[in-house]
Each structure stands twice: as structure tokens, then as C-alpha cells.
A and B are shown apart, each in its own frame.
Chain A
Amino acid sequence: MAELTTTPPFEIVVERSRRWVNINWREIWDYRDLLLLLVKRDFISRYKQTILGPAWFILQPLLNTAVFTIVFGQIAGIPTDGIPAPLFYLCGQLGWNYFSQNITTGSATFVNNAHLFGKVYFPRLIMPVSVIVSNLFAFLLQFIPFLLFYFYYLIVEANGMDLHPTMKLLFTPLLIVETAFLSLGVGLWMSAASAKYRDLVHLNQYLIQIWMFGSAVIYPLSKVPPHWKWLVDLNPMASIVEGFRISLLDRGTLTLPQIVITLSLTILILISGIVAFQRVERTVVDSV
């Protein structure tokens, strides 16, 4: 009755990793079903039982937009590049909210899953990646208020703005992918750091807040004063948010060097994030 013949003989050697990077891509691929099931779990637990859960993802950007329109538009008088204010802020929040949700959940990978990680082995990278994928649903929900306003301005009231879809719309999927990669990288870094130093969990929240103000969510890049421009150039999220505006609304300014810097930073952060994460992952259960 031996069924051993069905499985190929293979060896797992358990020892202290001496190599600097030790990622078993093959194994991660073998666990792809787990990734799908984790995404499904998040989806069900988030949307099956609550009505307010999904509604919140639609309400939140609308409320933010109302506040931004009054505070930054009406009171502070920050211009919106000729785009109607609600559309401008809704568009700015699309990429930003996806990014900030990803890094909020991603940075807590080790802390939230300490129990699970202490009891079962599976490639830990699956966890943060599943977060990025399942947050896509929330991201798509956020498109609903944006599209409502978009069609309102397109059909009912142009407001003096020449609003029409262009071929640049094709960049949107690429921007989503870049946002996903960048937020994965940042989330991995943050989770690795906060697994080592628990105090950083609080810092992460603060960092996200500050980061938003530096990411052109509430102002167009064209209004950044020249002596602060270097800072914006070094912030990949600023270019991504502006990129969403160019792609969806055909308004905004991005130079080629800015795009090159953003893409290289994204790749750099992602790769170094994976390295940092897997170095912490090896013995993290001993300390969390």
C-alpha cells in the first residue's frame, strides 16, 4: 500500500542560512494556490458579513474630497490645474489610497501574523503579496465615485475644461502595477524594520501622513516651487499620482528624467525590500 512512489525523492536541508539572500522562487510558485486562497479569505471576511465595509471604500474618498475642496481649494486657494476640484482630488486619491492601504497592512505583516508564522511554515513573502492583491478590490471600488464625477463633468457640465478620454488611458494599468510594486517594496521594508523595532509601528502611521502631503495629492506638480522640486523628484509616489492625472484627465506635467527616476527607485525599493524582508523572516518568530 505504499504511496511513496507518487512523490519524487527530494531533500530539504534545514540549517542556518549563510548566504546573504536566500529566496526559493520555485517554492513560492508552488504555493500559488495559497496566495489565491488568502486573497479569497480577505475578500470574504471583508465583504461577506458587513454592508458598511465596501460602502466605506466609496464613502471615504468622497468625504476626503469634500474636506479637501473646502480646506485646500476654497480656504487655502490651491489651484487644481484647471480640473474641477472634486475630480482633481478624487483622481489624486486613487493611486494614493491604494498605496497607503498597501503599506499600512503590509508593514504589519509580521506583527499581525506572528501567531500563524510561529506555527506553520510557508514562504512568508506570500503574505504581503496577498495583501497587495486583495487591496485591489478596494481600489476598484474607489473608482466608482471617481467615474460618477467623471461622467457628470463629461456629459452634464464641462466647466470650461476640455475633458475627453485619450489614448493616455492605456497607461493606467501600468501605473497600478507600479503602485503595487512600490507599495510592496515599502511595505516589506517597514515590516522588516518594525519586526525588529516594535516602536516603529507608530512611526509608520505618521510617515504615511507626511508622505501624502509630499505626493501631489492635493496640489498639481506644476505648482511646486523650483527649490523644492528635487524633493518631489525623489518621491516616486508624487510622479505616480501625477501620472494618474495625466492618464485619466490628460492634465499634468511629468518630464522624462522624473519618469526614469521614479521607475528606478521603484525597482530599487522593491528588490531591497525583498532582501530586507527575507533576512528578517528567517528568525522573526524568535523575537515577535
Chain B
Amino acid sequence: MKPVVEVQNLSKLYRLGDIGASSLRESLETFWGRLRGRQQPRPNQRKEQDRLIEPSRRGPFPGTFWSLHDVSFSVAPGEVIGVVGRNGAGKSTLLKILSRITEPTEGRAILRGRVVSLLEVGTGFHPELSGRENIFLNGAILGMKRTEIARKFDEIVDFAEVGEFIDTPVKRYSSGMFVRLAFAVAAHLDPEILLIDEVLAVGDAAFQKKCLGKMGEVATRQGRTVFFVSHNMGAVRSLCEKAILIEHGRLTMDGHPADIISHYLSGSLADNDASDGEIFWGEDNAPSAPEMRLRAIRLLNPRGEPAATFEADKPFSIEIHYDVLQRLRGARNSLTLLTQEGEVAFCATDHLFQQETQNPGSYRAVCHIPGGLLNRRNYIVSLQCDIPGERYVMPIREYVSFTVSGAGNQSSNFPENWPGIVCPKIEWKVEQLAAAEVVL
């Protein structure tokens, strides 16, 4: 069977700085400069710009960089392929090229089948139109015929759980309903190739689960191919049979998701981890959303000192400092602890204690992890903030890793790796019920 997607030496060159439309004046200046025999009107500025580009991604001309460089791979029909990489690595560029939103600079991709891309939930939805009208419009934008949409209509409405609101303008929908409807349209398109970029970062957890289930069904039952870009390693791990890792515009790994995730998580945290259990962000580089901004994450040992290694039987705490920028109602911070391989160890939330409104200002949330819980291994702290039943404020992302060392833990009595994502202190009682008869 021929691969359904074949990507051959795909590259995309972008110009730095003036990614926005150039001004007529600039073009005229360049033209005038050329007339007078000067090649580059502002050579100094060009060099200045180039210093911002990592050397490996510099393009052939000054001020250009490779967003994607010489990427090749192929995908068999029915495969769910996870695309993993840091922000700015080129994942979105790859998806934009595959969905034909922009042309590649070099190389090519052969797609055997209809492609539907879901790079954002609700693209093209119009607030004044009713849910029904938006289903048809959105379906058509994504490349469906009216008859196809009509055939799937009931299924879409069912899946989205909008019920009697179907004839209400979507501007009156709650954001949860809006997201559900938007995803439902795309999920029912039945394309041969479905490209999904981070869209599951919106919507509440229950709906996320439903979407993941739907995507799995699309792939396994209907034999469709799904490209899944996500920072949610748990989802990539559970959903994908194969993954590719994109780093600095190049494809660096292609294989089993568990290996890719492990490689990605250890690599992606390298920069942050230099700080040994503490990360502080300035206002300009902090992970932020319109409503909130992270300021610091600190891992503190029982003496209150930042550390990246903890003893298994001693408690420690994770401190999160954040700024609320706009009034937030009913938001919940959750902390997910992942293993190096991307499995979820556990998930904890401050929700029970913080149901009220948070006004703009600085906050600190502390999560106490008891001793005698974790296993001897590396863990990764990922955080997210959402409003349950409605939407995500900050999508899930991994931030910092730490190691649990064996001292005092039952597993530490043994030299080999102790299996299990956690290793809780479990009481054992061994007693002798009766003495064996001593045979002399």
C-alpha cells in the first residue's frame, strides 16, 4: 500500500523582521539604491538582524531563516502520527504547508486523499449566524459539500451537545458550547487526512476526552490518517502509534512515541533546568495568556531551599507564582506530574480552595507533595489553568523536571529500577503463623 503522505525534502524560508507587508517606501528605497549601484541600502541592519537567528537556521540570504529545513518522512494510511517539538521549532509551518495554506520554498509533499486541517477551533464561525448556519458555513470552508454536511448534521449536533440552541446565534453560546460545536464539525468531516494543531488545548477536560476518543475512532475504525500536534504528552502517548520530533526546523527523530516523548522532554527542559529547581520569568519572556502570566516555579525541599533532587520519603513542595491580569472567575490551576516517558503520575488541583473570583494581582499557589509517594525516577511538572466546564486559560505545558532519589524508600533497597510511576508507602506486615515442625 502506498503511503498516504509522503514528505520529501520539505523546506520553508521566511524573511525575518518584515514578516508584515513591506511598505512601498522601502521597496522604492531598495529600487533607488539599486539604480545608484548599491546592493544593500542598510547592510548594518541586516547583520544585526542575522544575529537573532540561530546559526543553524540562517537562510541563504541576509535576514532569512529556515522555518523548516529538509524534512522528509512518510505516513501509512490509518496511522495517527504525533508531531512533537518546542514552540517555534517548525511544527505549525509543517502543518500549514501540508494543509496548503502556504507554499513550501523547496521540496514537496504528496497527499493521497482529501485533507482537512483544524489549526484552530471555530475558524470562519460568524457570531451573528445560528449554530445550524455555522455548521454549514464552517463545513463548506473546510471543504465539504452541502449534501455531505446535511447527511452528518444530526450527528454533529448530537456530538456538540448544543441541543435546542442550534437555531440561536452562536454569539449567545457559552465558550464551552462554541468550542464543542466547532470541533464537532471538523471531527465529522471524514477526510482521508486530518491535521490537528493544539486545538484540544481549549474546551474542558470532559470534552477533551470525548474529542480524543473521536479522533481515535476516526483513525482506527475508518482508517483515516491523523496528524496530531500537541504539547500534551499524555495525549500524544495514548493516541499516537508513531511520532516525529522537530527541532530547530529539522526532523530529528522519527519513531515510537514513547522514545520521542522521552527525548523531547529531557531536551526541552534543558534550558529551564539550569536553574536547579527554580525558574523565574521576566515580564517579557514569561509564559502568558491574556488573563494570566506565570512568574516563577520553585521546587522546595523540607528546609525551604530550592532543589532538583528530593528524597523519596521526605515531603517537598511546588510553588507557583503567577500574575492575574484580568479578573478570573472559577479558574482552577492544575498540576500534572509526568514521568520522563510522558505517563501521567498524578494530577492535583487547587480548585477546592479557590472557587471564588481572582482579581488582578500577584498570587502564589503551593502544592505539598507528601513523602513516601514517588518512585526513584525523573518527573516533569506540567501546569495548566482552566475554567471547568468552559475553557482553558493556559494550556498544559511542561516546565521543570526533578529527580527522586532512593534514600529511605522501599525501592531503594534494590539496585534495579523499580517499576511503577509512583511508589507509595504501602504497609506490609509479615508474620509467622505457625512454626514449622523441626525435623531433626
Which residues in A have some Cβ–Cβ distance to B below 8 Å?
1-4, 7, 9-17, 30-31, 33-34, 36-38, 40-41, 44-45, 48-49, 115-122, 195-200, 282-283, 285-288
* Contacting pair B128 A4 (CB below 8 A): no
* Contacting pair A197 B128 (CB below 8 A): no
- A119 to B92 alpha-carbon distance, docked (Å): 10
- A195 to B24 alpha-carbon distance, docked (Å): 11
* Contacting pair B124 A120 (CB below 8 A): yes
For this complex, 26 residue pairs linking A to B, each with C-beta atoms less than 8 Å apart, are A1-B221, A4-B77, A7-B113, A11-B110, A30-B145, A34-B140, A36-B146, A37-B136, A38-B137, A41-B129, A41-B133, A41-B137, A44-B126, A45-B126, A45-B129, A116-B141, A119-B124, A120-B141, A122-B141, A122-B143, A196-B21, A197-B23, A198-B20, A199-B23, A285-B102, A286-B102
Residue A283 contacts which of B102, B142, B192, B221 (CB distance < 8 angstroms)?
B102
Residue A11 contacts which of B105, B111, B129 (CB distance < 8 angstroms)?
B111
* Contacting pair B136 A14 (CB below 8 A): no
Can you list the 6 inter-chain pairs with the closest CB atoms, starting with the nearest? Answer: A15-B108, A34-B140, A121-B100, A198-B21, A119-B123, A197-B24
Would you give the shortest CB distance from A15 to chain B, in whole angstroms?
4
Would you give the shortest CB distance from B121 to chain A, in whole angstroms?
10
Residue A195 contacts which of B21, B97, B221 (CB distance < 8 angstroms)?
B21
Residue A14 contacts which of B108, B143, B221, B223 (CB distance < 8 angstroms)?
B108
Chain A residue, CB-CB nearest to B193: A12
Would you give the shortest CB distance from B67 to chain A, in whole angstroms?
9
Determine whether B106 belongs to the interface, using a CB cutoff of 8 Å to chain A: yes
List, in ascending order, chain B residues with CB within 8 A of A287's CB. Answer: 19-22
- A7 to B137 alpha-carbon distance, docked (Å): 22
List, in ascending order, chain B residues with CB within 8 A of A14's CB. Answer: 97-98, 100, 103-104, 108-111
Chain B stretch 252-304: residues in CB contact (< 8 A) with chain A: none
Chain B residue, CB-CB nearest to A119: B123
* Contacting pair A198 B23 (CB below 8 A): yes
Chain B stretch 129-175: residues in CB contact (< 8 A) with chain A: 129, 133, 136-137, 140-146
- A41 to B134 alpha-carbon distance, docked (Å): 9
Chain B stretch 72-120: residues in CB contact (< 8 A) with chain A: 77, 96-115, 117, 119-120
List, in ascending order, chain B residues with CB within 8 A of A115's CB. Answer: 123
Residue B113 contacts which of A10, A33, A36 (CB distance < 8 angstroms)?
A10
Would you give the shortest CB distance from B428 to chain A, in whole angstroms?
49
**Contacts A44-B128, A286-B14 given; does A15 touch B112 at CB 8 Å:** no
**Residue interface mask B11-34, A partner, CB < 8 A = 1:** 000100001111111010000000
List, in ascending order, chain A residues with CB within 8 A of B145's CB. Answer: 30, 33
A-B contacts besides A7-B114, A14-B111, A198-B20, 12 pairs, CB < 8 Å: A30-B145, A33-B140, A34-B140, A37-B136, A37-B137, A38-B137, A41-B137, A45-B129, A49-B128, A115-B123, A196-B22, A287-B19
Would you give the shortest CB distance from A49 to chain B, in whole angstroms?
6
- A157 to B23 alpha-carbon distance, docked (Å): 56
Determine whether B198 belongs to the interface, using a CB cutoff of 8 Å to chain A: no
List, in ascending order, chain A residues with CB within 8 A of B354's CB. Answer: none
Determine whether B190 belongs to the interface, using a CB cutoff of 8 Å to chain A: yes
Would you give the shortest CB distance from A170 to chain B, in whole angstroms?
34
Determine whether B39 belongs to the interface, using a CB cutoff of 8 Å to chain A: no
- A117 to B119 alpha-carbon distance, docked (Å): 11
